[in-house]
Structure 1
Amino acid sequence: MEKTRKSLHVTTEIGKLERVLLHRPGKEIEHLIPSNMERLLFDDIPFLPTMQKEHDAFAAVLKERGTEVVYLEKLVEESLLDEVVKGELIEAFLKESKNHLHKGYKALREYLDSLPPTELVKKLMEGVLKKDLDHYQKLHLDDLLSAHYPFYIDPLPNLYFTRDAAAVIGEGLTIHKMSTSARKRESLFWEFIMKYHPNYCINHHPQWLQRTYPFAMEGGDILVLSEEVVAIGVSERTSARAIEQLAHNLLGADNSYKKVMAVEIPKKRAFMHLDTVFTMVDQDKFTIHPEIEGLNGQMNIFLLELDSENEVQIARRTNLSETLKEALYLPEIALIPCGGGDSIFSPREQWNDGSNTLAIAPGVVITYDRNQVTNELLTEYGIEVIEVPSAELSRGRGGPRCMSMPLVRS
């Protein structure tokens, strides 16, 4: 069981990373097939053994630098305190998978109930195959057509991107309504952790946004820039409505946050989240994909603040550098262009998450080794770059920041 200490505390993107949540890719990756991979948000099918070696190397770097690594599957298992909680999780998964609507529901429920907690968590993550229930009577036409589609419950191959289902802001948490049907069930795990895990349910952490809120948000769009400012991308995966609601909840609470900076980015797969085109690497240094800056550096940026009547007031800005200097009280900042801004290297390396860096301390970042131009440029700016292998991890379209959910930063 995870040690009882401060459970959640993140007030910066660059503070020393004390504790982080990961998910080691598992059999859910091997349950990607050509007929479901696009719907499950993959462009290709990764080779799991190599993927796991690369992920283990990533985790090893974190541990070597003094970061405690916590695994999602372990937290979920530790949250299943008794048969009642276990049944509640099963029922929620079946409902969100639409498996409560057909005749096979009873057999599927019995099968999942029969699994011990460790196996249950693995099965919910990797998906339930129709052949897993061969010893149960088939009552539905679809049950008999395993060649048509082999799954009762789809796998969750995006789980290794632990950044997205929830995000720590201050000592509270946002639990997200995920944008796509392929990922909606992922945030269920955090709902159960916060409700039942011994180290989280007792601390009464505020929840700035809950997954029942009707508008989508994902953690890759949330950057905790300081104790006063949170930047959030208005993106393909995060809606303006969700940002405004979060701003109202966060800024209206009794804490230090004063501004939410909403940054509009192009709504296309290559850009996906704000952290695929913009990350903080030091107190006054940021990576950026130049393509988001628009013509003459003009962007849609909005500062959300509360007025004296607790209403959200919105002010528009157009220049990212100037807005960052204003919000963070910095005289100067450096925007480090992905791929050096080159017309070939920049889009190539952005596609492979050259801008998606994970800061583990001020001026110290973990990056993918394949983004050579960006990594060399970061080094020239005085950033310590720790490269990790990425031949298979990168096939999921996410980098080191995507693969990590900071729980505690100093």
Structure 2
Amino acid sequence: MGDCFVKNSTGVLKKVLLCPPDHIKLYSINVISEEWIKRGIKLNIERCIKEHEELIQAYKENGVEVVLMEPDVKLTNEVFARDFGACIREGYILGNFKEKIRTGETAAYRNKMKELGIPCVAEVSKGFFEGGDFWFLDYDTLAIGVIDRTNETAIGEIKEQLNKFEYNIIPVKCEEDNLHLDMCFNIVEEKVAVVCREALPNSFIKTLEGKGVYLIDISQEDVFKHYGNLQSLGNGRVISLKSNKKVNEQLKSYGISVIDLDISEILKSGGGPHCMTFPLVRI
């Protein structure tokens, strides 16, 4: 592994950190979970666990090493491993949760990263930052969403601490209902991205087009169905949802192999395959 951990968003994914959803619960902390709560729905834990096991199996079948957290009964959203921070080439950025029910995850994930020998190269303490808002656009350019869970204060902290590594950081402002940037924007291959034009600023769309990225469009309604929450494995492979038929067909037209999983129960909490995955090594 050396001293290079994650160098982009679409290289070959070699190792990931996940957390089983043994204690997952619905809370009114995003528009998706709020809707299910209004309907009086409770999560089927056994079904959530089965879906997560299928995600783990998909990774293993595609040569990705899976490291698992030990689920904590007090950390009911811990399954969304992406959000505690972000991994870059030099180490990882430790985020800061906005929602109180998630703040306990920070210490748990910090301890796990220490155990794995991955250094913390930046830590957000004044603002709020979650990993669902973080993307590599290219080798040196980072896009960070300013939506519901990440703010400008945090981006300032990250810029200051990563300055020595010479990354260019682009804030991407969207409406709060979109929750995280990985709900309305997703790079699936170096020059292919899934986007919700309704949700994203025109300036960001123009940045992508200027980089020669082909854009697959989804609607605002599809954002809340997690149709943009895909997980690139590199080498022309991506994890998607079986229900995401239109996007999956378009991905295949670009020569991308789609691993479509039947995930629907965990989605009710407001997160999909990308939200559940923290990349540890991507080369």
TM-score (normalised: structure 2): 0.90
- Tell me how far 1:391 sits from its aligned partner: 2.2
Q: Distance in 2 between matches of 1:182 and 1:52?
A: 21
How far apart, in 1, do the equivalents of 2:153 and 2:141 lie? Answer: 18
Deviations 1:53-107 (A, max 9, x none): 111111101000000000022xxxxxxxxxxxxxxxxxxxxxxxxxxxxxxxxxx
1:8 and 1:52, CA in 2 relative to 1: closer, same or farther beyond 3 A?
Answer: farther
CA drift of 1:22 comes to 0.7
What do the CA deviations read for 1:127-174 (whole angstroms, capped 9, x no partner)? 3xxxxxxxxxxxxxxxxxxxxxxxxxxxx2211110001211112211
Q: Which residue of 1 aligns with 2:135?
A: 223
Match of residue 276 from structure 1 = 183
Q: Does structure 1 residue 409 correspond to structure 2 residue 265?
A: no
| SS of equivalent residue, structure 2 residue 111 | helix
* Distance in 1 between residues matched to 2:136 and 2:103, nearest whole Å: 23
Which residue of structure 2 lines up, in the alignment, with residue 126 of structure 1? 73
| Structure 2 residue identity aligned to 1:208 | A
Q: Which amino acid aligns with 1:401?
A: H
Give the equivalent residue in structure 2 for 1:57.
Answer: 54
Q: Using the TM superposition, give the Cα deviation of residue 219 of structure 1 relative to its aligned residue in structure 2, in angstroms.
A: 0.3
Rounded Cα–Cα distance in structure 2 between residues aligned with 1:6 and 1:62: 22
Distance in structure 1 (CA, Å) of the matches to 2:45 and 2:3: 31
Q: CA deviation at 1:282?
A: 1.0
Structure 2 residue runs of 5 or longer lacking an equivalent are 37-41
Per the alignment, residue 370 of structure 1 pairs with 243
2 CA distance for matches of 1:241 and 1:192?
25
Counterpart residue number, 1:23: 19
> Match of 2:52, SS?
helix
1:245 and 2:151 are equivalent in the alignment: no
* 1:264 maps onto 2:260 in alignment: no
Is the CA contact 1:40–1:157 (under 8 Å) kept in the aligned structure 2?
Answer: no
2:199 is the counterpart of 1:292 = yes
Structure 1 Cα separation of the partners of residues 113 and 279 of structure 2: 15
Render the CA deviation track for 1:365-393: whole Å, top value 9, x for unaligned: 10111222222222223322110111212
The CA distance in 2 between the partners of 1:40 and 1:182, in whole Å, is: 13
Q: The residue matched to 2:228 in structure 1 has which SS?
A: coil
SS of the equivalent of 2:260 reads strand
2:121 is equivalent to residue 207 of structure 1: yes
* Structure index of larger Rg: 1
What one-letter code is carried by the residue in structure 1 that aligns with 2:131? G
Q: Give 3-state SS (helix, strand or coil) of 1:398's partner.
A: coil
CA 1:165–1:8: 2 relative to 1, 3 Å: farther
Q: CA deviation at 1:236?
A: 0.7
With over 3 angstroms needed to count, the CA separation of the structure-2 counterparts of 1:60 and 1:6, relative to structure 1, is farther
2:108 to 189, 194, 197: 189
| Structure 2 SS opposite 1:160 | coil
In structure 1, list runs of 5 or more residues that go unmatched. 74-121, 128-155, 294-298, 300-317, 339-345
Aligned residue in 2 for 1:390: 263
Q: CA deviation at 1:279?
A: 0.7
1:336 aligns with 2:216: yes
Alpha-carbon distance in structure 1 between the residues aligned to 2:112 and 2:43: 29
Equivalent in the alignment of 2:39: none
Q: How far apart are the structure 1 equivalents of 2:203 and 2:126?
A: 31
Q: Is the 8 A contact 2:27 2:269 kept in 1?
A: no
State the AA in 2 paired with 1:218: E
Secondary structure of the 2:108 match is: helix
Change (3 A) 1:285 1:218: same
Q: Which position in structure 1 is the counterpart of 2:28?
A: 38
Measure, in 1, the Cα distance between the counterparts of 2:214 and 2:227: 16
| TM-score normalised per structure 1 | 0.63
Amino acid at match of 2:206: E
3-state SS of the aligned residue for 2:255? coil
CA contact (8 A) 1:11 1:225 kept: no
Residue correspondence of structure 1 range 83-94 to structure 2 within 5 A: none
1:251-288 Cα offsets, whole Å, 9 max, x none, are x22x3x431111111112xx100000001011111100
Task: Tell me if the contact between 2:3 and 2:89 (Cα under 8 Å) persists in the aligned partners.
Answer: no
Q: Secondary structure at the match of 1:178?
A: coil
What is the one-letter code of the residue matched to 1:47?
N
Count of residue pairs brought into register by the alignment: 276
Alpha-carbon offset, residue 6 of structure 1? 4.3
| Separation of aligned partners in 2, 1:235 and 1:394 | 19
Asked whether the 8 Å contact 2:90–2:121 carries over to 1, the reply is no
- Secondary structure of the residue that 2:215 maps to in structure 1? strand
Tell whether the 8 Å contact from 2:17 to 2:279 is kept in structure 1 after alignment: yes
Q: Which amino acid aligns with 2:213?
A: I
1:237 to partner: Cα distance: 0.5
Q: Percent identity?
A: 29
Task: Work out the CA distance in 2 between the residues paired with 1:173 and 1:225.
Answer: 17
In the TM superposition, residue 220 of structure 1 has moved relative to its aligned partner by: 0.1
Conserved in 2, the CA contact under 8 Å of 1:220 and 1:402? yes
The CA RMSD measured in Å over matched residues stands at 2.1
Alpha-carbon distance between aligned partners in 1 of 2:179 and 2:123, rounded to the nearest angstrom: 21
Q: Per the alignment, do residues 72 and 6 of structure 1 end up closer, same or farther by CA in structure 2, a change over 3 Å counting?
A: farther
| Partner residue in 2 for 1:68 | 65
